[in-house]
Amino acid sequence: MEGDCLSCMKYLMFLFNFFIFLGGACLLGVGIWVIVDPTGFREIVAANPLLFTGAYIMLAMGAMLFLLGFLGCCGAIRENKCLLLFFFMFILLIFLAELSAAILAFIFRENLTREFFTKELKKHYLRNNDTDVFSSTWNSVMITFACCGVNGPEDFEAVPHPLYSSLEKTLPEACCQRELQSQEGVFVDKEACLTGIERFQNRQGCYTVILNSFETYVYLAGALAIGVLAIELFAMIFAMCLFRGIQ
């Protein structure tokens, strides 16, 4: 009976570690995509230290889970106590780190509010100044997502106009409609846009556009994170039980 229980525990341990292996592969893939994505998201990450750090943390966590899932599978199948103990200690550290990251994300969630981004835009945005990282990043975002400001064109009423442009009245060029949403895209009618004709302007705020674009993925990422934490917890329990059961 004890042998059957140990055998069942071994295969359950293998199953949970297989899921950890898959979860690690997913995180690794998402981390690589965020860092090398050519559609403009990479520029947002590079300009924001918090997002930049988060992307590399996701990459590192994915690689560690990938490796640990592999080690856990090997330790369970071969019934190696050394591998099982190493697996348990390492996955415990990762579990605590992920839990701490989730708590910190909840505490600092106010940094992702509409009001925070609006204040930062009005404070730091320099319109068409491509030498400024903050401004060039915002321009890239507005062009890529066909949006304007955080809430809409009204955000730029408090932004200083460049002295060298007599044509520009209110909006930066990034808010003007283009035939193709990229830096190389041709303007539909740049002069009409900058002189205030709304049908040639992108009127929707970027906060709403980006939130709608990533809403599904945010919930998916949250569900995936909860699932990974639960799997890690069960894997630690099975690892310790299997460790104690091996003679």
* 104 and 72 within one domain: yes
The reply to whether 243 falls in a domain is no
pLDDT higher than threshold 60 for residue 26: yes
pLDDT in tens, 178-210: 887 777 778 888 888 888 888 889 989 998 888
The reply to whether 222 falls in a domain is no
Give residue for tokens 């050394």: 82
pLDDT confidence of residue 1:
41
Q: What is the rounded end-to-end Cα distance, in angstroms, of the chain? A: 15
pLDDT band for position 164 (cuts 50, 70, 90): very low
- Please state the separation of Cα 61 from the chain's center in Å: 13
* 74 and 36 within one domain: yes
- Please state the separation of Cα 102 from the chain's center in Å: 13
* 140 and 95 within one domain: no
pLDDT band for position 165 (cuts 50, 70, 90): very low
The reply to whether 42 falls in a domain is yes
* 65 and 13 within one domain: yes
- Comparing 171 with 53, which gets the higher pLDDT? 171
pLDDT band for position 170 (cuts 50, 70, 90): low
Domain that holds residue 27: 1-113
Give residue for tokens 């709403």: 208
Final residue before a domain boundary, out of 88, 113, 138 = 113
pLDDT confidence of residue 96:
85
Most confident of 112-126, 134-148, 216-230: 134-148
Per-residue pLDDT averaged across 214-235, rounded? 76
Question: Closest Cα to residue 67, out of 75, 57, 78, 56?
Answer: 75
Neighbour tally for 189: CB within 10 Å: 14
Q: What percent of the chain has pLDDT over 70?
A: 83
- Tell me, what DSSP letter sits at residue 90? H
pLDDT band for position 42 (cuts 50, 70, 90): low
Per-residue pLDDT averaged across 114-132, rounded? 81
- Give whole-number Cα distances, 88 to 57, 96, 177, in Å: 21, 12, 55
- Give whole-number Cα distances, 124 to 52, 70, 85, 132, 137, in Å: 19, 46, 51, 9, 12
* 149 and 80 within one domain: no
The reply to whether 52 falls in a domain is yes
Spatial separation of the C-alpha atoms in residues 120 and 210, rounded to whole Å: 17
Mean pLDDT in the chain?
Answer: 77
pLDDT higher than threshold 60 for residue 230: yes
Per-residue pLDDT averaged across 26-50, rounded? 66
Spatial separation of the C-alpha atoms in residues 37 and 29, rounded to whole Å: 11
pLDDT confidence of residue 2:
54
* 89 and 19 within one domain: yes
Spatial separation of the C-alpha atoms in residues 178 and 62, rounded to whole Å: 38
* 88 and 29 within one domain: yes
Per-residue pLDDT averaged across 71-99, rounded? 82
| CATH number of domain containing 152 | 1.10.1450
Domain total for the chain?
A: 2
The reply to whether 65 falls in a domain is yes
* 68 and 129 within one domain: no
Spatial separation of the C-alpha atoms in residues 124 and 196, rounded to whole Å: 23
* 108 and 176 within one domain: no
Give residue for tokens 């009127």: 203
Neighbour tally for 232: CB within 10 Å: 24
* 49 and 14 within one domain: yes
CB 74 within 8 A of CB 80: yes
pLDDT confidence of residue 168:
44
Sign of the CA dihedral running 169, 175, 181, 183: positive
| Cβ-count burial 133-164 (b if 16+ within 10 Å, e if not) | ebbbbbbbbbbbbbbbbbbbbebbeebeeeee
Residues forming beta bridges with residue 176, ordered by sequence position:
201
pLDDT confidence of residue 198:
85
